[in-house]
């Protein structure tokens, strides 16, 4: 069976190589030249948008930002076909950067979904021609509702452009498609202008890393900025702790049982008075001292590094890296021991 699988794999690789060899030099050169031209056309289309942004508060782009900032509801982004795909992405980008937004399909809107739009919302209607029948069919309803309308078209004199409160010109000199038919440069330009809106709004709103993390709790940044020490610390019976008068051998048993390579030393009120780690044990052994009858208070560190349970887990990472330690105690403001944290806990929580 394994030999058969190996044979199949080798055949597949050989077959792939044969496919690659079918592209002759002339065809490859033409394809690469066309690909390069595509990137150039699309980059030119994006750069051309810069001159249309304007430099004053009365530019169309600035007015669009003002409308979006003043929106009390949600930003509804809509478009048909390829423009619809771009509209979905723009809505997603706005939503993840502090502007509540959603995509509504214009055809579905005409059959009931328009009920999701209120007078407090703003509609961004996207159509390169500016004559999309599905969009034009819902615009009168949007206008009657009193919702603001921002259009993004490649035709400033189009129906959609003339009906909008603000029009953003996404016209391109030509499509990257050799036939000048398939939406390529125009959709790229539209997407870029949508990103420009989102980034400008992000800054105007004072949107920060913490805000981004709240809308991306499953991402790495979300875990780093939203995870608190209390969420991942060891608690209760899992916290290694002994009293100051305990003999060192008994304290070492506690270190072993709890598996954190350390133990806290607490007084009768459970206030932290010290810490003893496996590193401390190694140093005692290197010194060659007889510590079999020593009490833990004689060899402990009296000023351990500590964190509060409400601190972010990234604070624990910074503390450990700064002082080159692998574990830290968690205490309340009065010094009461409430938890313990090992670097492995931070790794498991994907904070690092």
Q: What's this model's pTM, rounded to 2 decimal places?
A: 0.61
From residue 174, how far is each of 43, 129, 171, 268, 300 by CA, in Å? 12, 13, 9, 80, 75
- Name the CATH superfamily, with its identifier, for domain 34-207: Glucose-6-phosphate isomerase like protein; domain 1 (3.40.50.10490)
**More confident site: 226 or 116:** 116
Q: How far apart are CA 30 and CA 181, in angstroms?
A: 20
pLDDT, position 7: 47
Mean pLDDT along residues 160-166: 95
Q: pLDDT band for 211, please (50, 70, 90 cuts).
A: low
- CATH assignment of 229-348, among 3.10.50.40, 3.10.580.10, 3.40.309.10, 3.40.190.10: 3.10.580.10
Q: How far apart are CA 271 and CA 266, in angstroms?
A: 5
Domain boundary assignment for the chain: 34-207, 229-348
Q: Which residue in the block uniquely carries the two structure tokens 């913490």?
A: 210
pLDDT, position 4: 47
Q: pLDDT band for 223, please (50, 70, 90 cuts).
A: low
Q: pLDDT band for 79, please (50, 70, 90 cuts).
A: very high
């Amino acid at each position: 069976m394994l030999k058969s699988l190996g044979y199949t794999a080798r055949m597949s690789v050989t077959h792939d190589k044969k496919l690659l060899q079918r592209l002759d030099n002339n065809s490859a050169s033409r394809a690469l030249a066309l690909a390069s031209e595509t990137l150039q056309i699309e980059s030119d289309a994006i750069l051309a948008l810069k001159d249309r942004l304007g430099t004053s508060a009365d530019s169309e782009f600035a007015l669009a930002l003002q409308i979006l900032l003043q929106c009390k509801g949600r930003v509804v982004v809509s478009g048909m076909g390829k423009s619809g795909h771009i509209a979905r992405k723009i809505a997603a980008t706005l939503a993840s950067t502090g502007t509540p937004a959603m995509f509504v399909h214009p055809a579905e809107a005409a059959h009931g979904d328009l009920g999701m739009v209120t007078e407090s919302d703003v509609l961004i209607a996207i159509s390169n021609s500016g004559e999309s029948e599905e969009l034009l069919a819902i615009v009168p309803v949007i206008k009657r509702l009193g919702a603001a309308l921002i259009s993004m078209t490649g035709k400033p004199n189009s129906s959609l452009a003339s009906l909008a409160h603000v029009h953003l010109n996404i016209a391109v000199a030509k499509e990257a498609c050799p036939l000048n038919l398939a939406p390529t440069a125009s959709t790229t330009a539209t997407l870029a202008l949508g990103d420009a809106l989102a980034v400008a709004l992000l800054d105007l709103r004072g949107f920060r890393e913490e805000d981004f993390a709240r809308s991306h709790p499953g991402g790495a940044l979300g875990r780093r900025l939203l995870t608190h020490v209390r969420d991942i610390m060891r608690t209760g019976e899992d916290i290694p702790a002994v009293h100051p008068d305990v003999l060192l051998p008994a304290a070492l048993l506690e270190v072993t049982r709890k598996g954190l390579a350390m133990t806290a030393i607490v007084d009768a009120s459970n206030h932290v008075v010290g810490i003893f780690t496996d590193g401390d044990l190694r140093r005692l052994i290197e010194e060659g001292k007889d510590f079999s009858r020593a009490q833990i208070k004689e060899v402990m560190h009296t000023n351990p590094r500590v964190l509060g349970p409400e601190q972010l887990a990234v604070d624990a990472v910074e503390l450990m890296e700064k002082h080159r330690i692998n574990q830290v105690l968690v205490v309340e403001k009065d010094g009461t021991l409430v938890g313990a944290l090992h670097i492995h806990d931070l790794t498991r929580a994907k904070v690092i």
